[in-house]
Structure 1
C-alpha cells in the first residue's frame, strides 16, 4: 500500500526501534513538530521486540549512569503522560561476585554510585540469598544491591515513546523503506524512499543492525556488527518468588529475570557468534535465528550451578535473536564527521532499553543546540576511524565484544581480537626489547616492557598488576637518567596556506603568531569556553604549522578543523599522522645522549624550551621539538617513517653509558600524573572550561581577532572565584590505587569525582586528579583549610589537595 509521505520535514528519523522513537519523542519536547520517523516494516521489528527489557542504572562512568537513570525515570512516568503502559517496575538488581577481583569491581561501582546519588548496598552472601532464596551462594563472596533498578516491556516502552511523539506532532510512518540519502555540499538534505523523496534539514540514522550499511549510502562510518544473542525461558516455577530483583552472575556470564512465574536466563558469553556477515536479509523482521544448544551448554551448566532448581525445570523457550555490537562496546551518538546534519544513534550493545531514554534526549538536544549538550566522548561517533568499519575488523572484534559486557572490567584491560591493525615502523624493535603492547585507536603501542625471563603479558588486577615494578623502574629511569618512548601514534596535522596563521589563531586560545621554530601549547575551545582539543602547534614556516594531538582524537580533531574552515579561507589541512614516526627522548641525560649524534647546539641557551627545528641526527634529518609530557628535559623527534628504525638504534647506542631504557605508556601516565598534566577526554572535556581546568594561562585575550570561546571565558573570569575547579590529590596512604570516577569528599560531603589516578613512584603514593565544586568558590585557602578524602572500594582515604603539581612545581627540571 502506498503511504502518503510529506515532501519535506525538519527532521527525518530512519528506524522505528526504541532508539528512533525516543529521539522523535524528545525532539517534540524541544518544540520540533515537523518530525517524520520512517520504519521499513513495523515498530520494534528489528532488535527491540526481543530485548530482555532490563533497566539498570549503574554504568561504567558517571555520565553514562546518569543517562541510564534518566531512562528509568522517564519510563516510570510515560504511562501517566501518554496513557500507554510501559510495564516498568523497580524490582531492583543484585550482582554477585565469586572472586575477589569481581568483588573489588563491584565495590568500586558502589563507590561511584554514591557520586551519582543511587542507593547501592554492598551485601554479604547470606543477604544476597535472602533476596534470591533459590540461589546457591556457596561460592559467592559478596554482592551489590541496587533497589532502584528496574525492568520494562521493550515493545510497550517503544509504543509509549511513539505515542508521546505523535502527541507532540511527529509523524510515524511504518512500511516505508528508505533506499538512499540526499546529500548536497557536504550536508544531509533528505532521504529517498521507495514511496518518494523527503527533503529534510536533519537526518538521523537509528536503523539498528542496518545502521552500518545505511551509513555507507552517505559515506558515513558506523562501525557495528550483529551477533547472535541468546536467552532461555523456563516453564512455570511454582517455587519462584514474584518481584525478584534481576540477578547477575557475571562470572558465570548469565543474568536471571523473573517474569510472570517463569525465569528468563540470558547469556553474555565469550566467543560470541557474529551474524549477518553477508548483510541482514531483506525480509528479516520479528525473526529468530536457529538454536545452538552446543554453544550454550557451558552457560546452561553455570546456570544450573547458580540455581540448582533448574536441573529439574524444563525450558519452554530457547531464543536466539541478533543484536548489534560496536568495536569498543560503547554506542554511537552524535553528528557524523563526514556529513553535516547527519546524526547517528545506533550500536547499543544489548543495552538499548536502558540507554534509549538518555540517548534520545541527548541526541535531540544535540540537534537543537548544534553541539553535544554535555561530555559524551564515551559514545561520540567521532571517536571512530575508517578501518573500524571494515568487515574483517568488525567480524573478528564482535566475537569478543558481546562477552566483554560481563567480563571483569580491569583497569588497563586490553582487547584480544582485531589486533595488529596499526603498527609503528618501530614495532619489531620494541617487541625485541620486551614490549607488552596495548591497543589504542588501532595502534599497537608499548604499554610496558617485560624483563628477561618475565612473560610479556598482563596479569590483571584492581591492585598492583604484574607490571608494577617494571613501571617503577621505567619511571625512575626517566626521572634520573634517560628513557625513550615511541609516540608515533600522535595525531599530526599540517596546516598551510596564506591564511594559516589567522585560521589557527581563531581556533586556538593561545597566540600562534610566533617566530618560525617556536612551539605553542594551546586548547581549542567551543563557544561556551569548554575544551574541544588539547594540542601543541609548531610554526614550521610563515605559512605553515604542525598541530600535534593525542591518539584517540584523529577523526574528531580533523572534523573540528574542517568544520571551522570557511569556504574562502586559503588553507590546506593535511593529516600527516602516518608520515612521521616520533621517538621521544626524556630525562636528565637526554641532552648528553642526543649530543653524541648531532652537531646541533642542544644547550638550554642554544635550544630553549618550546623550540622546534630540523637537525641532523645520525643519518637522518629530523625535527627535534623540545617539549615534555613527563616533566623532564627532553625532545620529541619527528622522523620520516623510513628513517626511524636507524635513528632508534643510534639513540640506544648513544645512551648505553647512561643505562638508557625504553618506557611505555603506563609509565608516561605515572610521570604525567606527578606533573598534573591533563589528558583530553579524561581530565579535560568539552564541558570543562579552560579556567576550571586550570589552563587559563594558555589564553591570549589581547591577540587580534580573539578566539572561539573568548567571551565565555572572560564572562566566567569576571564572576570571581570558580565554583568548579581541577585539583590534584596525593594519598597519605601508599597502598590504595585509584583510576577514575572515585568520589571526592570535603569535610565528609561528596564534592566531586576523580578523572584519573596512577601511582607516582617519585612521590611514593597514588596521585589522583579531578574536579571539585563549592558554591563559595574553590580557592587555595579553602583547600588548605578543608579535610579531603577519596573513596576506593567503599573505603575512604585521606588525601592532600593541590592546585600545583606534586613533582617539580617550579618546572626547574624541564628548563635545565
Structure 2
C-alpha cells in the first residue's frame, strides 16, 4: 500500500508543470506538509507535449511580469536541481501579412517598451536578415523580441518537482483523487486511490489546489467549485532532420495561424486554427497517460500548405511526427488562478490556453504568495478565477466557446473585438426593445449589452480595425446627445447586491471605505480596500431602509465583490443576496433629463427633493420605479431601477415621452467615451487591487475619521509617507491618433509608465487616456509642469495632462 500521510497543510491535485510550480514555490516560502498527488505520471497530461515557447510579452504589465519571472526562474533551475531545462534565448519574430496586423504588432512593440521588454520593429528586409529561410511574399513587417526563447517543458516540470522535494514536499505519482469531504465553505480532506489498486485512503488538509489541467472542471465539481475549461485538439508536425538548419529564432506568422520552432536541426510547425476541435466532451478517458489523439490531416492541411509556401524548405523535408494532443482552454483565453469564489480554502491554477510553460513559473509564484499572505501580491484580475460566472461551467457553452478561443490566440486582437460563439445567454429585460432600434450587442460576463446603435440602413454589426471602426461616428452622435440633449442606455447588467440585516450598517462600514451611517435614500460612492489600501471594488451603495442597502458593482466584478463581502462578514448579522436579474436599469442622461422625468412621473426631481447622490421611489407611467441620481457619464441624469416585470412598460413610457425631446438610444461605447472625458476611473484598468486609493485620486471617497475599516491603516500611512505616483488624465493634441490602453507615457522624453485605459473624447476633440506617473516628493504643479507624450505604435504624440477632470471639472453639469 502506498505510504501517504493522513494529513497535510495543502494537497495539490495534478502533477503537470503548474502543479509542480505551485509545490516548488510554496516550499520556497517555507511551507511543509505539502502533498502533490498525480493520477498517473508527472507531465503525462499536457505538459509533456507542449511546444515549450518562452515568450515574455503578454497583454498587461503584470502578466508580462509573470512571464519574465518564469524565464528567469528556468535559467537558474538547472544549477539548483541538476535537471536541465533546455532553456535557450533564441529570440522571436512575429511577421505581419496585413497593414492591420502590422499596426497590432507595432503597438505591441510600444507596449513592450513600457513594460521593460526589449522590442524592435522590423521591415520585411530586416526579417529576412534574421530569418533567411522565410518567403517574404505578402509580409508587411514585424517585431523582434530578442529575449524570448524555448525550453524543454517536461524537464522544467521535473526540475520544479525536484526542487520542491528537496525542501520537503511529498510528490506521489499514480495516486488519483476520487472525492473531497466538505464542511460549509471548506474542503476538509480528499479521498485517494492507488492506480494499481493497492490501496486507498483519506488525507485531511487545510487547503486544496486544483492544478488538474484538462481535468480541472471535474476536480472543480468534486471540490464544490466552478472551473470553466475545455480540452481542445492541438496540432503540430515535426520534420525529419534538415541539413544545414542551425539555431533559429521562434517565428510566428499569426495571419497564417502558424508558429515555427527549430529544435535539434528539425522544424516544429504548430497551428492555432480559426475553428478548433473540442475534445473529451463526454469526459477524458480514465486511462489517459502520455496519449496522442487521432490524426486529422484534412483539418491541418490548409495550415501546412500555407506554411510550406512561407517556409519553402518545409516542402522538401520529410515529416517525422504528426502530433495531435489535448490542451485546455477557457472561455476568455485567460488562465484561472486564485481562490475559488464558492469555497474558502480551494485554490485553482488551471486552464493555461497553450501558454502553460511560459506562465507556470510566474503563476506558481503568484499563487503561492497569495496563499501565504491571504491577498494577491499584485493585481491578478486578468486571471482571477472569480471573474468566471457560474453559467460558464455549462458543458455545451464550453464546447461552443472553446471552438473559437483556441483560434483567437492568433487572430487579430482588434480593440472591442467580440466573441462570436456561445452568445445570447444573458439578456436584459430591454433586449428586444434595443434590438428593434438598431442595437449592436457586445458580450460581457455572458450579458448581451447594447454597445452602439446602427443608423437605419446601416449594417448592424462590427467591422473591426485599429483605425476608426465603423461605429466611430455612431458613438460620436450618441456622445453628443448625452452632452447636449438627451440619451438613454441600458445598465441592467451591472451587479446589484442587497446587503440586509440588523448589522448591515456596521458591516458596510467595516468592509467599505465610505461612511454608510447615512439617511435612507442617500447614495455613497466608495471603494472596498485591501490591507494595502488597494482597490478591491469600486461601488455605489444606496441605503434603501434602516436595515437594507443596495451595492452596485461593474457587471464583470459582481461575483468577486459579493465573494469579498462574504469572506469579511464574520459574525455580523447580514444577508448578502445577488439581485442583479431582479431589476432592469435604464440611465436617462443629458441636459434635458429632468424634462423627460417630469413627463413620465408626478414626483419631484428638483435639487431640493432629489439632489445629486440621492434616490427616491417614484411612480413611472402606470407602474413604480426607484431612481438614483448618479452618473458615470458626467451629466445631469438618473438611473431608473424597475422590477423586471415592469421593465418593458418603463422603456415604452420613457421612449414615447422622449421623442420630441430628441431622446437617443445609446450604448456602452458611448459610456466609456464620456466617462474618460470626465476622468471617471474604470475598475480593472485604472483602479485595481494594486492601486492605492489615494494615488488613484479617490481619497474623497474614503472616510478615515470613522472607526477601523479594511485598509484604513494603509490610507493613513500613505498620507504620512506621501504619494509615489498619481493617476493623470491625458488628451492628445493631434485629433487623429487613437488610444486604447498600455501605450507608453513619456515625460520629458523618458518612458515613465503606460496608459491604464484609453478612448476617444468626442466632445473634447481627441483621444484620451489615463495612467499613473511617478511623483515621489513632487507637488501637483511640478508634476503638471512637465512635457508629456504618448507613444502610439512608435510615434510620440504630444499630450495635455491634468489631475482634475478635463470635462466639467467643478461638476456643475452633474449637479444642475
After TM superposition, the score normalised by the length of structure 2 is 0.98
Q: Given the alignment, which residue of 384, 391, 395 partners 2:395?
A: 391
- Cα drift, residue 185 of structure 1: 3.1
2:563 alignment partner in structure 1 = 559
Deviation string for 1:337-392 (max 9, x for gaps)? 11111100000001000000000000110110111111000000000111000001
1:727 alignment partner in structure 2 = 728
Contact 1:511/1:520 (8 A) holds in 2: yes
Tell me if 1:658 matches 2:657: no
- Cα drift, residue 188 of structure 1: 2.2
- Cα drift, residue 709 of structure 1: 0.6
Structure 2 spans left out of the alignment, 5+ residues: 194-199
- Cα drift, residue 706 of structure 1: 2.7
Deviation string for 1:210-268 (max 9, x for gaps)? 0100110121000000000000011121142x110000000000000001111000000
- Cα drift, residue 157 of structure 1: 0.6
CA distance in 2, matches of 1:797, 1:440: 32
CA distance in 2, matches of 1:93, 1:784: 39
Please give the secondary structure, in 2, of the residue aligned with 1:520.
strand
Tell me if 1:166 matches 2:159: no
Deviation string for 1:260-313 (max 9, x for gaps)? 111000000011000000000000010000000111111111111211222222
- Cα drift, residue 606 of structure 1: 2.2
1:682 alignment partner in structure 2 = 685
Contact 1:450/1:470 (8 A) holds in 2: yes
Contact 1:187/1:339 (8 A) holds in 2: yes
Aligned residues: 810
Contact 1:783/1:801 (8 A) holds in 2: no
Tell me if 1:494 matches 2:498: yes
1:259-298 matches, cutoff 5 A = 259-298=263-302
Contact 1:600/1:616 (8 A) holds in 2: yes
1:192-211 matches, cutoff 5 A = 192-194=191-193, 195-211=200-216
- Cα drift, residue 84 of structure 1: 0.9
1:645 alignment partner in structure 2 = 648
CA distance in 2, matches of 1:320, 1:106: 29
CA distance in 2, matches of 1:372, 1:591: 44
Deviation string for 1:12-43 (max 9, x for gaps)? 11100000000111111111122111111110
1:810 alignment partner in structure 2 = 810
Q: Given the alignment, which residue of 580, 587, 592 partners 1:589?
A: 592
CA distance in 2, matches of 1:487, 1:10: 44
Contact 2:679/2:804 (8 A) holds in 1: yes
Contact 1:676/1:805 (8 A) holds in 2: yes
2:196 alignment partner in structure 1 = none
CA distance in 2, matches of 1:182, 1:744: 51
Q: Given the alignment, which residue of 400, 421, 425 partners 1:421?
A: 425
Deviation string for 1:609-654 (max 9, x for gaps)? 1110110010110001111000000000000011111111111111
CA distance in 2, matches of 1:31, 1:785: 48
Contact 2:775/2:783 (8 A) holds in 1: no
Please give the secondary structure, in 2, of the residue aligned with 1:229.
strand
1:795 alignment partner in structure 2 = 795
CA distance in 2, matches of 1:123, 1:700: 52
2:141 alignment partner in structure 1 = 142
CA distance in 2, matches of 1:696, 1:316: 63
Q: Given the alignment, which residue of 560, 573, 576 partners 1:573?
A: 576
Please give the secondary structure, in 2, of the residue aligned with 1:354.
helix
Contact 1:783/1:802 (8 A) holds in 2: no
Contact 1:55/1:72 (8 A) holds in 2: yes
Q: Given the alignment, which residue of 714, 720, 732 partners 2:716?
A: 714
- Cα drift, residue 657 of structure 1: 1.2
CA distance in 2, matches of 1:122, 1:629: 39
Deviation string for 1:737-773 (max 9, x for gaps)? 1111111111111111111011101100011101111
- Cα drift, residue 131 of structure 1: 1.4
1:93-492 matches, cutoff 5 A = 93-194=92-193, 195-240=200-245, 242-492=246-496
After TM superposition, the score normalised by the length of structure 1 is 0.98
Please give the secondary structure, in 2, of the residue aligned with 1:275.
coil
Contact 2:247/2:265 (8 A) holds in 1: no
Structure 1 spans left out of the alignment, 5+ residues: none
